[in-house]
Structure 1
Amino acid sequence: MTQEQFWQGPLPSPKTLEDFRSVVPDAPERIIRQWELEAEHRRAYETKALEGTIHINKAGQANAITFALFALGVAALAVWLNQPWIAGILGVGTIGSVVGAFLYQSRNARKQQQK
């Protein structure tokens, strides 16, 4: 006679916990508490990583806006100094880069939603 058992989950099966209890009386409580502590730690780590990613994204956006405004300011200065080619290159390049970045971001967001 063969008997097969299957258990799936983050913790040992109730039968296994009872077997541990026969060896160490408070083993199931200790095992479950350790699992709870690990889960709390993992959630805290994931939250901190997400907050870091958000901070990096916001800093990148602020730097991009600063750069774009600076480049457009230099383009305006070039117009004032009667340098239309330089102004055109800087203006079109800056605006094209900003539009391209927004299109790239929206395309990636759509791909993520489809997954």
Structure 2
Amino acid sequence: MPKQQQEAGAQQGLVSQQWAGPLPPPGALAQFDSIIPNGAERIMAMVEREQQHRIDQESAILNATIRDTRRGHWIDGAVSILALAGCVLSVYLGAHPAVSVALVSLPVVAIIQAIVRSKSNGK
């Protein structure tokens, strides 16, 4: 057969493999292991470290959220107590009743707002 006819009949192909997730399929792991010494073990160790990192990050985010929420509760409570104390003081000093109503409305509005937010976040 002439060389030109052999080249005309030859075909080339390209094979591509991809996977989703941290681990390749078992066949690919075996290939990595044959190319790189302890390749599969190294990939498994990398995946385990990545998983632990994700767990640590989620835990840190959750703890920060809890701390921020607690801090907000303490600040809100302090502002409410100060507003109520100001209301009592304004009544004692004989200030206009609108001052007392304004000071009392601050914690009441904050409590209503917190209830509405908790109901909307619960959905």
| TM-score tier (shorter) | 0.7 to 0.9
The alignment yields a C-alpha RMSD, in angstroms, of 2.0
Unaligned 5+ runs, structure 2:
1-12
Q: Across the two proteins, how many residue pairs are aligned to each other?
A: 109
Match of 1:81 among 93, 98, 118: 93
2:122 match: secondary structure: helix
Decide whether aligned partners of structure 1 residues 6 and 48 sit closer, same or farther in structure 2, where only a CA change above 3 A counts. closer
1:50 match: secondary structure: helix
Q: Which residue of 2 aligns with 1:93?
A: 106
Tell me which structure has the larger Cα radius of gyration.
Answer: 2
Q: Distance in 2 between matches of 1:48 and 1:5?
A: 36
Decide whether aligned partners of structure 1 residues 50 and 20 sit closer, same or farther in structure 2, where only a CA change above 3 A counts. same
**TM-score (normalised: structure 2):** 0.78
More displaced 10-residue stretch of structure 1: 8-17 or 27-36: 8-17
Unaligned 5+ runs, structure 1:
111-115
User: How many percent of aligned residue pairs carry the same amino acid?
Assistant: 29
Q: Distance in 1 between matches of 2:33 and 2:110?
A: 65
1:29-75 C-alpha deviation (Å, 9 max, x unpaired): 01101110111111111101110111011001110011001101100
**TM-score (normalised: structure 1):** 0.82
Q: Which residue of 2 aligns with 1:51?
A: 63
Deviation at residue 6 of structure 1 after TM alignment: 7.3
